[in-house]
Structure 1
Amino acid sequence: MSTPRWRVVLIEDDTEMRRFFEGCVTAHPELELAASFGMLAPARAWLDEHPADVLLTDLALPDGHGLALLQHVVRTQPACEVLVVSVFGDEDTVIACVEAGAVGYIQKDSTPADVGRIILGVKHGESPISPMIARKLLARLRQHGGRTQPQPVEPSLPALELTPRESDVLELIARGYSYAEIARLQDISKHTVQSHIKNLYSKLAVHSRGEAVFEASRMGLLDRTRRSP
């Protein structure tokens, strides 16, 4: 009797990087590439109709941030382990994803052998998290009295009001744009971008880009900005 293979779903908008991860999965005898996408919307539609064992997702995607899909999959497919694709220096975003339900992350400069081993490892109870990120998570655990999961927003709370420009900047932050790129796209100075981001951090009660994206996604602000004309 053959050993069943774990079904992996991949979301990565960079074509070359997506092919790299596809090759890593298909080359491993215990993994099966169930589906591969470059955008969030078709991935979510597929996952709503099909079970998966592992979701490997990039975060800054053309049609939104992977954190929203991560939260959706954690709710609808609790048996599916979620790994995020990260780059060095993006620790705050990784922490926000772990708090939302991800079991760990894979860096984009990983070797093919490491990718297969990490994916398989999570199905055997491992959590690929660096000591630095683990230490930050422990610090947050102490700060929140033993809770790493943020509390859900109560329906009775008033909606957070953002200016149209703040909403635009928030959307671009979620898509992974740099301050300089946001300034160019919005035709404003980098200093103005920083002022808008400072206001966003204050309104969201956060201190980093990753925390801002997490809180905005949790509160439905990113969905609201995408629905706005």
Structure 2
Amino acid sequence: MPTAIALIADCPSTRQHLHSLIAADSGMLPLGYAASAAAAETLISRSSANVYLILCHLADRQAPRLTRLALDSHPGCAVAIVAKSGADALLYACLQAGANACLQTECSAAELRDCLRALRNGSAFLCPTSAHQLLRRLQANAPAPLATPLTGRESDILRALGKGLTMNEIGGLHGISPHTAAHHVKRIYRKLGVHTRGEAVYEAAQMGLL
């Protein structure tokens, strides 16, 4: 079944690029697009997409609020943030709001497919550029490392989460079942007081665990 995608982007060139990638792939179903925060609210209220693609550098800087609105309105959906260079602060705010993935505006069709595949598998996705920007900024502002509340195994699994690995991949890497890997992830979330992979990576970097 195709992945239903709603696109929220106020930049015409970025919107056209992403729309062309979606329209050209039989595994993706475009549900519509919005070019402003007001139009996005209407789109979110009227369409139940599997994935909401949101350009984080919206002119009105409403991407974090729209991220939370989509997730609250449609439990089970995912939000993938599309980041422009220089939008680091907004990108972090979107991840804190619960975004599940991040792509760059010039992403390829293959990267978009990889992102959607990860989201369908219940994983998160950070493209290499976004991951590098995120970690670089967090490391620059990180406080002195705190005593880790995690075990050695949990710390290893947290680093694997930061790389975007799926439960199957984490299990294979550490010689455990995907179910056991998921159990470790739940304990990590509980110890860090978070609910999503993006939040876990952010909190871990803030605490000097990555």
What's the counterpart of residue 93 of structure 2?
A: 96
Separation of aligned partners in 2, 1:94 and 1:16: 20
User: Cα deviation per residue 1:51-107 (whole Å; 9 max; x = unaligned)?
Assistant: 110000112324451111111111111211001110234334322211211012110
Does 2:74 correspond to 1:77?
Answer: yes
Q: How far apart are the structure 2 equivalents of 1:59 and 1:21?
A: 14
SS of 1:60's equivalent? Answer: coil
2:55 and 2:87 mapped to 1: Cα distance? 12
In the TM superposition, 1:84-163 aligns within 5 A as 84-129=81-126, 130=128, 131-132=131-132, 133=134, 136=138, 146-148=192-194
| Structure 2 partner of 1:157 | none
Q: Distance in 2 between matches of 1:99 and 1:122?
A: 17
Distance 1:148 1:8 in 2: 26
Residue type matched to 1:123 in 2?
R
1:58 to 55, 60, 69: 55
C-alpha distance 69-124 of structure 1, shift in aligned 2 (>3 A) = same
Distance 1:112 1:50 in 2: 24
Q: Are the aligned partners of 2:9 and 2:15 in contact in 1 as well (CA < 8 Å)?
A: yes
Q: Is the 8 A contact 1:25 1:116 kept in 2?
A: no
Map of 2:174 onto structure 1: none
- The alpha carbon displacement at 1:117 in A equals 2.8
Give matches, 1:28-39, under 5 Å.
Answer: 28-39=25-36
Are residues 89 and 15 of structure 1, via their aligned partners in 2, closer, same or farther at CA, if it must alter by over 3 Å?
A: closer
Task: Judge conservation of contact 1:99–1:148 (CA < 8 Å) in 2.
Answer: no
Higher relative contact order structure (alpha carbons within 8 Å, sequence separation ≥ 6): 1
Identity of aligned residues (%): 19
Residue 193 of structure 1 is matched in structure 2 by: none
Shift of 1:5: 1.0
On the 8 A contact 1:24/1:113 being kept in 2, the answer is: no
The 3-state SS of whatever aligns with 2:123 is coil
Q: 2:20 aligns with which of 13, 16, 23?
A: 23
Normalising by structure 1, report the TM-score. Answer: 0.55
The answer on whether the counterparts of 1:31 and 1:120 sit within 8 Å (CA) in structure 2 is: no
Contact 1:83 1:104 in 2 (8 A): yes
Return the alpha-carbon distance in structure 2 between the equivalents of residues 62 and 96 of structure 1. 15
When normalised by structure 2's length, the TM-score is: 0.59
**Structure 1, unaligned stretches of length 5 or more?**
150-229
Give, in whole Å, the separation in 1 of the partners of 2:59 and 2:84. 17
CA RMSD across the alignment: 2.8
Greater shift after overlay, 53-62 or 111-120? 111-120
